[in-house]
């Protein structure tokens, strides 16, 4: 019984997060401006991170947690660098 | 003490994080503690402005306020997205808010609170004039938002930090 | 799925509730992000997913891992705290960058009072710079003789200093 409840909830979560990723991806492709794309990339990183966490829960594996954490760190650094780029047009001053 | 552990709070948080990511054991306490001390020295090299907390006791009140506000604004923004902005009635807008708060740590905390809460986004702060440009998702009344930021958050943060 | 069968039903319901809450909020945030019209509206949508969306999934993951391992597993909190701290930073940076870009283009997205406040400041800065320039232009006439005198003095010292 409890396995059924959790499996259904996790399945729903996986579908919802994947749909969210697709929605964010359409905005990422559509733009219209650079800041929309950067914000889309940041949101996509976080959605993918949460999808990894949910998948890890479903498979009962620790490795997804590590991957999710690395993803969060890289997403942050990438977005900050891109935002800086939007500001000045140069990453390194 | 202050030369060996320049930032005790930062070092303590790093040790806690190390123990959370690994299993709790004596070896990890020693290793994490050593890393936290080295990292504390590295932070000292950056010379950040040391926060002066005047009133620790108000911190739980602040965190409780943030917690309830985030839940409330989550519901409000989710509802606005679901109903397509009250069927096209929703208007967003920019609000200019003069701030009296000057402590950089308190300002950073205020910026994080306002941005983490769905519905408000901190866009820019002019440190010469103390003028904050805030974007509000569901703007009904400028004056109401000025009142919320100045009396609800700024007053409490000033009491804690200044 | 045998490892899930050991979880009591009440805990399973609680975990399912948090997972569904979190993922629904992320989905709503993404929906808003895809549908809203202007960038400044869209910047609000992802915060749904990063505040309670992330919190819900992390709470569920912590509950499940803690029960299955028989000890308090709280390392998910690190991700939660990390997201809570970094997302505002990126959003503030992006907001400022967007505002900066729209201002330099005089974008119609920005209302008049945001533009005028900035224009006044830029004007004041330009005036201050012009004033400083004018002062710098007026000063060299007084300054140059002093520099010449100093150079003469230095040369003189060298000349007198070299033989000895």
pLDDT in tens, C92-104: 988 888 888 887 7
Contacts with A37 (C-beta within 8 Å, 6 or more apart), sequence order: A28, A31
C94/A50 Cβ within 8 A: no
Nearest CA in chain A to C51: A46
Chains with ≥3 CB–CB distances under 8 Å to A: C
Looking at residue A11, its pLDDT comes to: 92
pLDDT along chain A (93 residues), means of 10: 87 94 92 86 92 88 86 90 78 50
d(CA C19, CA A6): 9
Which residues of A are less than 8 Å from C1 in CB distance? Answer: 3, 7
Chain A CB within 8 Å of residue C29 CB = yes
- Closest C-chain CA to A32: C39
Region C50-59 average pLDDT = 90
CB contact C13 to A (< 8 Å) = yes
Q: Which helix (H) or strand (E) holds B136?
A: strand B131-136
Q: What residues contact A55, with CB distance under 8 A and at least 6 apart?
A: A14, A64
| Beta carbons of A39 and C39 less than 8 Å apart | yes
- From B82, B126, B131, residue closest to C28, measured CB to CB: B82
Q: What is the pLDDT of residue A31?
A: 76
Give the model's pLDDT for residue C77.
86
Each domain of chain A, given as residue ranges in start order, spans 2-88
DSSP 3-state of A92: coil
Contact C59, B134 (CB under 8 A): no
- Residue B99, CA distances (Å) to B94, B111, B123, B124 in order: 15, 12, 14, 12
Subunits with 3+ Cβ pairs within 8 Å of C are: A, B
- Position C161 scores a pLDDT of 43
What CA–CA distance (Å, rounded) separates C68 from C70? 6
Tell whether B18 is within 8 A of chain C (Cβ).
no
Q: How far apart are CA B120 and CA C7, in angstroms?
A: 40
Residue C2: predicted pLDDT: 61
- pLDDT for res A43: 92
| CATH architecture of the region A2-88 | Orthogonal Bundle (1.10)
Per CB-CB distance under 8 Å, the chain B contacts of C50 are 116
Sequence-ordered list of residues with C-beta below 8 angstroms from that of B155, at least 6 positions apart, any chain = none
- pLDDT profile of chain B (162 residues), mean per 10: 70 85 83 86 76 76 89 89 79 84 84 88 83 84 83 84 74
Confidence bin at C163 (pLDDT 50/70/90): very low
Burial of C71 (0-12, 13-18, 19+ CB in 10 A): exposed
Q: Which of B47-56, B119-128, C15-24, C149-158 is least confident?
A: C149-158
């Amino acid at each position: 019984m409890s396995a059924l409840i959790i499996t259904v909830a996790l399945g729903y979560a996986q579908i919802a997060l994947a749909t969210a990723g697709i929605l964010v991806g359409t905005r990422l492709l559509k733009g219209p401006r650079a800041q929309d794309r950067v914000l889309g990339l940041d949101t996509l990183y976080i959605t993918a991170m949460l999808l990894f966490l949910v998948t890890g829960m479903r498979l009962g594996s620790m490795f997804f947690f590590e991957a999710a954490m690395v993803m969060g760190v890289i997403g942050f650094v990438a977005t900050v660098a891109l935002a800086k780029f939007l500001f000045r047009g140069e990453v390194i001053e | 003490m202050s030369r060996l552990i320049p930032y005790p709070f930062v070092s303590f948080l790093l040790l806690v994080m190390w123990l959370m990511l690994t299993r709790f054991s004596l070896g990890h306490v020693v290793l994490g503690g050593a890393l936290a001390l080295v990292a504390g020295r590295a932070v000292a090299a950056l010379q950040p402005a040391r926060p002066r907390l005047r009133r620790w006791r108000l911190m739980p009140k602040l965190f409780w306020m943030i917690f309830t506000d985030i839940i409330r604004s989550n519901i409000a923004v989710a509802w606005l997205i679901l109903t397509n902005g009250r069927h096209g009635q929703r208007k967003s807008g920019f609000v200019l808010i003069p701030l009296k708060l000057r402590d950089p740590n308190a300002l950073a905390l205020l910026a994080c609170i306002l941005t983490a809460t769905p519905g408000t986004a901190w866009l820019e702060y002019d440190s010469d004039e103390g003028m904050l440009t805030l974007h509000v998702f569901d703007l009904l009344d400028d004056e109401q938002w000025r009142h919320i930021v100045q009396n609800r958050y700024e007053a409490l943060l000033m009491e804690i930090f200044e | 799925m045998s490892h899930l069968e050991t979880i009591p039903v009440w805990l399973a319901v609680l975990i399912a509730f948090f997972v569904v809450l979190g993922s629904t909020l992320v989905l709503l945030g993404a929906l808003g992000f895809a549908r809203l019209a202007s960038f400044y509206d869209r910047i609000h949508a992802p915060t749904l997913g990063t505040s309670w969306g992330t919190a819900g999934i992390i709470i569920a993951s912590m509950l499940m891992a803690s029960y299955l391992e028989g000890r308090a597993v709280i390392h998910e909190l690190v991700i939660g705290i990390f997201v809570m701290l970094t997302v505002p930073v990126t959003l503030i940076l992006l907001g400022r960058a967007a505002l900066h870009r729209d201002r330099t283009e005089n974008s119609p997205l920005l209302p008049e009072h945001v533009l005028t406040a900035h224009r006044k400041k830029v004007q004041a800065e330009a005036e201050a710079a012009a004033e400083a320039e004018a002062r710098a232009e007026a000063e060299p006439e007084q300054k140059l003789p002093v520099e010449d005198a100093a150079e003469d003095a230095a040369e003189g010292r060298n000349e007198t200093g070299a033989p000895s």
